[in-house]
Amino acid sequence: MTFEELAERIRALDDRAVDLSDPARPRPVNGRRCRAVGVDGMSGSGKSSFARRLARELAAPVLAVDDLVPGWDALAESVGLLTDWVLRPIAAGRPARWRRYDWLAGRPGEWVDLRPGDFLVVEGCCVGLPPAASCLSYLIWIDTPEDERRRRLELRPDWAGYGPFAQRWARQEAALQATADTAGRADLVVDNGERRGEPGWGAS
């Protein structure tokens, strides 16, 4: 599948998507190596829901980067872990091995093996930041206003556990994204501010 064919399939998922792709940007899409598609955005923007839809379209696994973050104050560390544990190995055609964080126990959990296929969908805040961004074949930004994101977060079934840490997490997101211009570098931006769509779309 060429980059143009991939882009067309992704754009077809949502009529609110705006194509910003630059054909001149280098992309790791050579040969038959696994191509990673990143879905970035702030908490509550709808990353997870969009990523699941995209994964069904591409028949690809989804990796939620929240599983790699080693604790409530370590969001920045996840970008390097994602790059070293997952994106660089699969871009080279090698299996990836990453460690899942046990949020209930508050400590690192089991190691997970991931064999490269045709595609991998990676979703989570900051997946579009360097150095991870250089390993992505396609980057999507989900754009949602802050008040709507907060409304959705409070409706999530895990809000009771997440709520006490929401501000700490939001400050890390804001600091990391402040100068990253992820939306400006994205190949596709989806305006997910409206309260519509399939059940669950826009809730995470």
**Could you state, in order of their start, the residue ranges of all structural domains in the chain?**
3-20+31-191
Which of the listed CATH numbers 3.40.50.300, 3.90.1010.10, 3.90.10.10, 3.20.20.390 matches domain 3-20+31-191? 3.40.50.300
Residue-level pLDDT at 111: 97
Residue-level pLDDT at 125: 95
2-11, 62-71, 187-196: least confidently modelled range: 2-11
Q: Do the bridges between strand 17-19 and strand 188-191 make them parallel or antiparallel, or are there none, so unpaired?
A: antiparallel
User: What are 44-89's pLDDT values in tens digits?
Assistant: 999 999 999 999 988 999 999 999 999 999 999 999 999 999 999 9
Residue-level pLDDT at 116: 87
Confidence of residue 103 (pLDDT cuts 50, 70, 90): very high
Residue count of the chain: 204
Residue 188's region, left for phi above 0, alpha for psi from -120 to 50, else beta, is: beta
User: What are 130-186's pLDDT values in tens digits?
Assistant: 999 999 999 999 999 999 999 999 999 999 999 999 999 999 999 999 999 999 999
pTM, two decimals, is: 0.85
> What gap in Å lies between CA 188 and CA 41, rounded to an integer?
12
Q: Kindly provide the b/e burial profile for residues 116-149, where b requires at least 16 CB atoms within 10 angstroms of the residue's own CB.
A: beebbbbbbbbbbbeebbebbbbbbbbbbeeebb
Neighbouring residues of 152: CB distance < 8 A, sequence distance ≥ 6:
44, 46, 144, 202, 203, 204
> Does the pLDDT at position 194 exceed 80?
no
CA-to-CA separations, 39 to 14, 31, 54, 78, in angstroms, rounded: 14, 23, 10, 15
> What gap in Å lies between CA 55 and CA 49, rounded to an integer?
10
Residue-level pLDDT at 200: 40
**25 three-class SS:** coil
